[in-house]
Every structure is written in structure tokens, then in C-alpha cells.
Structure 1
Amino acid sequence: MRTLLCLFLTFIISKTQSERVGNLVLLKDAVKDGAVCLDGSAAGYFIDRTPSKRWIIHLEGGGWCYSEGDCYNRSFIDLGSSKNWQTKFELAGFLNNDPDVNPNFANYTVVFVPYCDGASFSGNRDEPVVVNGRKIYFRGHRILTALVDALIENEGLKEAEAIILTGCSAGGLATFLHLDYVRSRFPYSDVHGLADAGYFVDAPNVNRDMHARRQFQYIFHMQNCSEGVNRDCFESNEIDGWQCFMAQYTYPYIQTPIFVLNSLYDTWQLGNILQLGCNPPDCNNTRMLEFFAWRTTFLNALKPVIQWGQNGVFADACLQHCQSVNDIPWSRIKVWGQNAHDMFSDWYINKRGTRTGIDGVYPNNPTCGDND
């Protein structure tokens, strides 16, 4: 069974409403090429083999490991090792095959990619680091490459007419980072991205300390992510390499159409970037002012998305993190009368061009409901 920590960090896929089940395939043949989890075990994927030429590839989230010691600890759980992965995994929200929940995407073939590298499928360090006598491998980009190779060779992905790369949290960030790479592997397929809760912003905490920036910088260099981020971003003379590991800086370089799904009051960012230290509305007046100011901070960082060409954005004012992998927020939360499923469908299927749904202020959205 995937651990409780893993389920928490991926923000709990709703099993009570989910019907689709993916079966585990381990990438055993890729171990010799170094495409392994933190502990050296084989990476893999869950697949629901629907007879369709339209595919969804979902990259799992679950935070990052911020130091060698942190990665060592992570190598003992499902977010760093495949040794205890279950053989089946239930899928919900955007991955659900229930047409009542997911009417426009229920018949897509779905691949769910477990997360076990600690750096959003971006690291590529040749030699392992040794912590407490244990080898730790930073090979996320090799996992992604091996995944694509296996899906082409063994699952029929080379025949895909359409591919949607998606993910939530650290997997949402991975969608920003790797979307152009996936498109480069499938030049004759219609490739799009749906990045859920992956727009982590470079902002200070309540004490005006840029601690999150230092964390992203360290991960980038520790895992040697230079080969695992957007190439146009990394090769630009206008940006530092580590910034390509953050969505707001890499976004302007993405050439593939992408839709951004993110709460304006993302609970992970409130707790870990802003470090609010309380749960709104149960905060003192000073912290509530910081909370309300976060919306402006986030919107300023989101400007490239709001102003950018033919892409889309659904930014609600609910206290949420990861909405596409849960049946309820995917179909219930609305911005200007449309839920995330409908607005994404309008952008993706109906080709309506730019779709911008920017919500008002907390707590004025009645569709947030009990998930708020």
C-alpha cells in the first residue's frame, strides 16, 4: 500500500467516487540506464488501457526533498522507493472514467506516474550520493525519458492522436518543466498541458525572508536539474538556471499550449512559502492581513499566464491544493459560472482561445463548500 504520507502529499485521490483503476508496470529494463527511484529501485507507472488514441499522462505530486539527508529519509517511503507500491491504483477527477464526473475525458487512456525522485522528474546526477552508508540516486529526468520510451514501445503511445500531460503539486510543476520535452517526442500528436497546483511562486514569507527561493535553488543544484528543465529557459541569457525550476520563470519559454489550474489561496503555499502559521479564518488580525495580501502576491506572479496568448487559467478563491485529481473540486468549484472541467474543456476541445477565470476574494465563492 502507498503510505499515508504519500497519500497526504498527493492530497488524497477520492476512492469513494473513483471507478477507474490503473495497473502497475515497473520499468525494470530501465534500471540499467539509471532510471531509478531515490533508493535505486525501479520506477514505474499505472495504466488503464482504454481502447483510445487520446491519452492523459499524470505526474504524481508529493513535495520535494530539500537536502541529501531529507532525500535519504524519503528513500524509505513510497515517495522515494517502489518496493512497497501497490499493484493497482484508483483514479479520480480528471482521471476518472465516470462520464458524470468527467464527461469529456472519461474515455481517454490514463497513465498515472508515481513520484519517487524528489525533484519533479528533473534530476540527472551521474553518481549517487552516500548518506549513512546508503546510496541515494537523483535520476528523475531519466525516469521521465524511460517512461516515454516504454509507453511508445509497449503501450501504443506512438499511435496517440492527442496527449494531455498533467500533474498536481510537484507533478504540476513537472508539467510546466517537461511539457515541451514531451511534445518534442510526439511531433505528430496534439499535445497540451494541464498544470494543477504547480505554480509555486518566488515570494517571501511573513518575515520577508526568501527561504523558499533558497530551497528551490538547493534542489536544483543538488540533483543537477540543468538537463531536466525547459531547454529554452535554461539556455536563455536573461535568467539564472535555477529559476527554470520554478513555474513563473519557465512559463514564458513554454511553446506547447498549457492550462493553469491553481487556487489563489493555495494551502501548500500559504503554509510553506508564506509560512502563515495558522489556518484562515482562524488567524489573528496581523496574519489575516498577510493572508489577504497573498492574493495580490500570487496574481502578480501569475501575470505571464493571464497575459499570455492562447493559454488558459482557472484560479479560484478556495482554500485548496490539487483540484484535478479529486472528483468534488474538479466538478463543483466554479469561477464565473464554470467549473474547472468545463473551462478546461472549453479551452481544449472547443479551441476557444484564451480562457481566463480569475476569482474574487476569499471567502466570497459559495462553491468552495466543505472543501474550503
Structure 2
Amino acid sequence: MKVISVILISSIILSVHNSDAAPLKKVILGDEETKSKGAMCLDGSPPGYYIRTGASSPNKWRFHLHGGGWCSDEDECVEASKGQYGSSSDTYWPDSYTMYGFLSDNCTDNPEFCGWSIMVVIYCDGASFTGYVEEPVTWKDTTLYFRGAKILDVMIDNFLTLGGDEMEQIILTGCSAGGLATYIHVDYFRSKVPSHIPVHAMADAGYFLDAPNVTGEMHIRGYYQNIFKLHNCKDRVNQDCIADNPTEEWKCFMAQYIYPYIETPIFLLNSIYDIWQIDNILQLDCHPPDCNDDQLEQFETYGTEFIAAANVPIASSNNGVYINSCQYHCQSTFYTEVNWSKTKADGQTAWDTFNAWLYNDTSKSSKIVNDYPSEEICDF
């Protein structure tokens, strides 16, 4: 069974509009600006973003890296270049976007952050904004550009120009492939932002495990190795990690190996039974409770492996954690506000826990780790 190379679930639902929400407006950068800086989507189109100025706190910003999977070989990248996650074409990205959860402007469900400004970076490079290959690659009559690192550079520059000197606070966030990008790039992002502006991060559903599938094969490891090599990601991952792993540089493209090197305050949001990981890393052919006893044992073993792999963030004295046991993927942004501000683990929502961590609210916990499958906390 082959891993799904392009995640079918978007971190934000396209073309679904809530009448109470103000959609973001799309901005596609000019060809001249982006090509001169080497910033192009897989298909050579210019990158872009969505933006909305906050109603009550316009100088506080959420900078969101969109998710959408990866491509690990030329065939996968050709396929991706002809779709939403390899092109900025109007065919795939509508003129406006409605946001949910942490990215929402609905003050009932997202009271602390609803009035903040927001910029959402279109994902179209296939390697979590990390790769750079100078020369385009031609494969089966299709020209491909591996320029994710350059896209991120241009987006950060535009973001800082738009926000200006009046920026008060920034939260870097991302979901899925964008969640992984948040782990990879958070310290680089911090280095580009003026030092007087506080920067925090929240990585949602980006803690993809280096773990075996149901047959014991470490197939996901080979998959990430291929992405790392094809897109030439070495120069834009943590260089201390690279130095410590000279024969396994690919590890610096995986959250569990990157995390110990991160210096910027960061919040981990993930399920130990993330549905994408269950389908594509564990490769379990069922979803509990519709599994037999052996499959349920493999499912629960994966949860145990996740907790073990997340021991560093769980033990951190500075960073926050919200780990639950729901079969969710992208809990801060996906579908509606339900996962962000209504679903509870140990009596707290993700919103409660992130807020407690961000503002040092000691009346609530900044670390929730619920490792037992419970339908009660996962029900909508």
C-alpha cells in the first residue's frame, strides 16, 4: 500500500462560506517580482496568499502556512503541479476564503483571536516550503520548479511589509504539511521578524511519526527521505540538526527529530490517532470501532508510540501541548469551530489550552495529554 502523496483534506475548506464570517481576499504576486527571486509554484505559477485586516486588533497577526501533502518523486510532482497544491491558478484557489477555528473571525467561537489580522500562504511547492533546486526539472514534457524555500522568503517579506512597524504580536501557525513547516521554519521566521515583536507558534497535525506500518515496515521514512532529496531541503532545515545527523539528514524534515532544536516558543496540537497517520503511516485498513481485535491492538500501539515520540514537547517547561485521542486531522482550522473550541480533553478545549499557554493563565493547564480513546471527548 502506497502512502497518499497529496493530502486530500485541505486545512481550510475551499468555497464554503459562513454568512457570519468575513472571507479573506486572494493576492497573487507578480511574475516579475517572484521569478526574479526564484519563487515559483511547482508549475511555475507565482505564489500568493489570502489576507484580512483584523477588526479589533489589526496590529496582531496570524501567519498561517497552508497544508496539502507532499510529492516525493517526479511523477507525483507532475500530478501535483496540475492541481491545487502545485499551482496558484484561479482554477484551484478561489478569490476569497472563509476561515474556521483559530483562523476564524467568529468571536463567539474564537473570542481571543477573532479580531486579529491574518495572512494565509497558499501551498504549492510540495515540500513544506523547504526545498530549493535552482534549475527547473523537465519530466515527461512537464517543467517542475522546486522552490518552496524561496516562496517562504517572498511571503515573509510581503507579510512584514504589510504589517509594518506597528505590528504588536505574531503567531505563526500551520496545519498538516503546514504544521510540519511550522516546526521546520519557526526559528527562521523568528529571525526575520524584528526582535521587539513577540513571536509564538502553533503547529497543528504536523507531528508525523517515524513509525512502522502494520507489517513492521518503516515505509514513511523512505517517503520523507525521497522528499528531502528530490527538493534539496538540506539548506533550509535546522543546521544544528544537520550537523548532529550527518548520515541521516532527512531526520531534520521530521518533527520529532527537529523539536529538540527549536528555540522559539511553540505549541503542539495533535491527536495520537491522527486519521491521516493511521491511514498513511500505520496503514491500518479500518477505523475504530470498526476493527477486529488485532487491528485495535495495532491502533492502540500507534498511540503509545506517538506519546513516546512526543516525550520532549510533553516534558518541556516552556512550550504548550494539546494531545487528544480523537481521530482528527487539523483541529485548529478544519471544517468548523467544533474541534478548536468545543471538543474537550480532560475538561479543556484546544482553545482553552493554547490560551492558557500563550498568556500564562495558571487557572488552566497549558499541557493536556489524553492518550485513551474516548468517544465522549470526540463527539461533535
TM-score (norm 2): 0.91
1:305 pairs with one of 302, 313, 323: 313
Matched, 1:43 2:43: no
CA contact (8 A) 1:311 1:354 kept: no
- SS of equivalent residue, structure 1 residue 23: strand
**Residue 88 (structure 1) shift:** 0.9
Structure 1 vs Structure 2 CA RMSD = 1.9
**Residue 361 (structure 1) shift:** 1.1
1:21 is matched with: 23
2:192 pairs with one of 179, 185, 188: 185
1:278 is matched with: 286
1:171 is matched with: 178
Supply the distance in 2 between the matched residues of 1:158 and 1:38 (Cα, whole angstroms): 33
Supply the distance in 2 between the matched residues of 1:104 and 1:255 (Cα, whole angstroms): 25
CA contact (8 A) 2:356 2:365 kept: no
1:61 is matched with: 67
- SS of equivalent residue, structure 2 residue 51: strand
Supply the distance in 2 between the matched residues of 1:280 and 1:16 (Cα, whole angstroms): 31
1:359 pairs with one of 362, 367, 370: 370
Alignment of 1:1-372 (within 5 A): 8-10=9-11, 12=13, 15-16=17-18, 19-28=21-30, 29-50=33-54, 52-84=58-90, 85-153=93-161, 155-186=162-193, 187-236=195-244, 240-326=248-334, 327-350=337-360, 352=362, 355-362=366-373, 364-370=374-380
Closer/same/farther in 2, CA of residues 200 and 360 from structure 1, 3 Å limit: closer
1:122-171 deviations in whole A, cap 9, x for unaligned? 01111111111111011011000000111222x12443221100011000
Closer/same/farther in 2, CA of residues 78 and 135 from structure 1, 3 Å limit: same
Supply the distance in 2 between the matched residues of 1:6 and 1:319 (Cα, whole angstroms): 16
Supply the distance in 1 between the matched residues of 2:240 and 2:198 (Cα, whole angstroms): 21
2:84 maps to a residue whose letter is D
Supply the distance in 2 between the matched residues of 1:93 and 1:6 (Cα, whole angstroms): 20
- SS of equivalent residue, structure 1 residue 105: coil
- SS of equivalent residue, structure 2 residue 76: helix
2:157 maps to a residue whose letter is D
Closer/same/farther in 2, CA of residues 25 and 7 from structure 1, 3 Å limit: farther
CA contact (8 A) 2:184 2:255 kept: yes
CA contact (8 A) 2:245 2:251 kept: no
**Residue 99 (structure 1) shift:** 1.1
1:82 maps to a residue whose letter is S
Q: Percent identity?
A: 43
Q: Which runs of 5+ in 2 are unaligned?
A: 1-5
Supply the distance in 1 between the matched residues of 2:228 and 2:164 (Cα, whole angstroms): 30
Closer/same/farther in 2, CA of residues 342 and 37 from structure 1, 3 Å limit: same
**Residue 350 (structure 1) shift:** 2.9
Supply the distance in 2 between the matched residues of 1:167 and 1:173 (Cα, whole angstroms): 8
**Residue 32 (structure 1) shift:** 2.0
Number of residues of Structure 1 aligned to a counterpart in Structure 2: 364
**Residue 83 (structure 1) shift:** 1.4
1:180 maps to a residue whose letter is D
1:93-127 deviations in whole A, cap 9, x for unaligned? 10111111101111111111111000000011111
Supply the distance in 1 between the matched residues of 2:164 and 2:265 (Cα, whole angstroms): 20
CA contact (8 A) 1:98 1:106 kept: yes
Supply the distance in 2 between the matched residues of 1:71 and 1:26 (Cα, whole angstroms): 21
TM-score (norm 1): 0.93
